[in-house]
């Protein structure tokens, strides 16, 4: 299965930066590379279900190591950032779908954000929708989303913890 987007490793997670053409996926990937994260595939990531049940993404051989950024053209990530900035494959842990802030008509859930699950190769993958707005540090939001996903995978959910604290506070006050 081939998906449009940039597959990148962030804090050990395989993350697909998805969204319509021109929303800023490659520019965001470039910022993530500058922060020390690793590129797997730009534009078209190929996914397959591995024997261990994980969905693994790879780059088509012709595109390996290259990142196309509007205004800059094609860049060779290995030559710019060194070969450690590249990775040949990675299990898909999270999809971050970028949207223009004006695409949203409904307010986000203030506790949980905009989260769904998307089927990739028949397996449910967590997906978070992030608004792209001028003046916001999207790279910081992406890193926070990845750290939060790691906590969720390890059994901790900040929203649920917050809800439980509120319930306890209400119960102790009455």
Catalytic center residues: 4, 25, 43, 110
Upper half-sphere CA count for residue 143 (Cβ side, 13 Å): 13
Q: Which sign does the torsion angle of CA 90, 36, 82, 61 carry?
A: positive
Q: What is the DSSP string of 124-167?
A: EEEEEEEEE-TTS-HHHHHHHHHHHHHHHHTT--HHHHHHHHHH
């Amino acid at each position: 299965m081939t998906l449009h987007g940039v597959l990148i490793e962030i804090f050990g997670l395989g993350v697909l930066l998805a969204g319509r053409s021109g929303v800023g996926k490659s520019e965001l990937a470039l910022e993530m590379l500058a922060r020390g994260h690793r590129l797997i595939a730009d534009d078209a990531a190929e996914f397959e279900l591995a024997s261990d049940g994980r969905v693994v993404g790879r780059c088509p051989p012709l595109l390996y190591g290259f990142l196309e950024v509007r205004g800059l053209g094609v860049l060779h990530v290995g030559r710019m950032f060194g070969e450690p900035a590249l990775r040949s494959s990675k299990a898909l842990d999270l999809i971050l779908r970028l949207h223009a802030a004006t695409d949203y008509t409904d307010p986000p859930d203030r506790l949980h954000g905009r989260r769904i699950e998307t089927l990739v190769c028949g397996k449910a993958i967590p997906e978070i929708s992030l608004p792209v707005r001028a003046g916001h540090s999207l790279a910081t939001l992406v890193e926070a989303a990845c750290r939060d996903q790691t906590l969720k995978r390890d059994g901790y959910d900040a929203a649920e913890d917050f809800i439980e604290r509120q319930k306890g506070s209400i119960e102790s006050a009455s």
